[in-house]
Chains A and B, each alone.
Chain A
Amino acid sequence: TQLLEQSPQFLSIQEGENLTVYCNSSSVFSSLQWYRQEPGEGPVLLVTVVTGGEVKKLKRLTFQFGDARKDSSLHITAAQPGDTGLYLCAGFMIKAAGNKLTFGGGTRVLVKP
């Protein structure tokens, strides 16, 4: 059982459509990060959300952290083929021993031209 469940696992949409990726947990996180990974590369940090209810925008990407800090979402507006990739959420758990990120399984996004 994964601590962080991402849904959907795979998403295929046409260019110009909107999409939302969800990241859910029964655990509380002190902060949550979103990464994007391309084939053959390591994950690249997109954003960190820290405060419950926080919303951050990065151009066409909107990230939201749930009020209870157990869930997060990533919304992409007017998706473009360049948005294709593997999107990963990862969180630092409150009261967890050590300093380590827990990753979700990822959502593979394909934006077709």
Chain B
Amino acid sequence: EAGVTQFPSHSVIEKGQTVTLRCDPISGHDNLYWYRRVMGKEIKFLLHFVKESKQDESGMPNNRFLAERTGGTYSTLKVQPAELEDSGVYFCASSPGQFYGYTFGSGTRLTVV
């Protein structure tokens, strides 16, 4: 079974630019999550999809972040415009149901300069 795939693995952009991160969950996993780890901090929740619907987006930092999950398959997380404090590692995870263990992707390391 293919795991959770994230693209790109690394991205370096200038402040003010736009970046789009992509996540392909495990096929059949209705639950998809985005998490972020900024330098020196713990991994923090951003949002949760159930199929194509946003179940919980309480962790999104501000309106510069937009997440979508078209057709309940892959998901994108767009940051526009990027700020320096957005730098960090963005993880995507999926699970087959509530309160199951998550399968994480390898993450996208975003650096805003």
Contacts of B35 in A (CB 8 A): 103
- The residue of chain A having its C-beta at the shortest distance from the C-beta of B47 within the complex is A100
Is B104 in contact with A105, judged by CB distance below 8 angstroms? no
Count A-B contacts at CB 8 Å.
59
Of A10-18, A42-50, A51-59, A64-72, the one contacting chain B is: A42-50
Is B102 in contact with A97, judged by CB distance below 8 angstroms? no
Is A42 in contact with B56, judged by CB distance below 8 angstroms? no
Which residue numbers of B lie inside 8 Å of A, CB to CB? 4, 31, 33, 35, 41-45, 48, 55-56, 58-59, 91, 93, 98-99, 101-107
4 A-B pairs with the lowest CB-CB distances in the bound complex, closest first: A42-B104, A98-B56, A45-B101, A103-B43
Is A99 in contact with B104, judged by CB distance below 8 angstroms? no
Of B45, B48, B102, which one neighbours A102 at CB under 8 angstroms?
B45
- The residue of chain B having its C-beta at the shortest distance from the C-beta of A99 within the complex is B98
Is A103 in contact with B55, judged by CB distance below 8 angstroms? no
A88 at the interface (CB under 8 A from B): yes
If the complex has contacts A98-B55, A98-B58, A99-B56, are A42 and B105 also in contact, measured as CB distance less than 8 A? yes
State the Cβ distance, A35 to closest chain B Cβ, in Å.
Answer: 8
Is A44 in contact with B104, judged by CB distance below 8 angstroms? yes
- The residue of chain B having its C-beta at the shortest distance from the C-beta of A41 within the complex is B106
Contacts of A80 in B (CB 8 A): none
- The residue of chain B having its C-beta at the shortest distance from the C-beta of A30 within the complex is B99
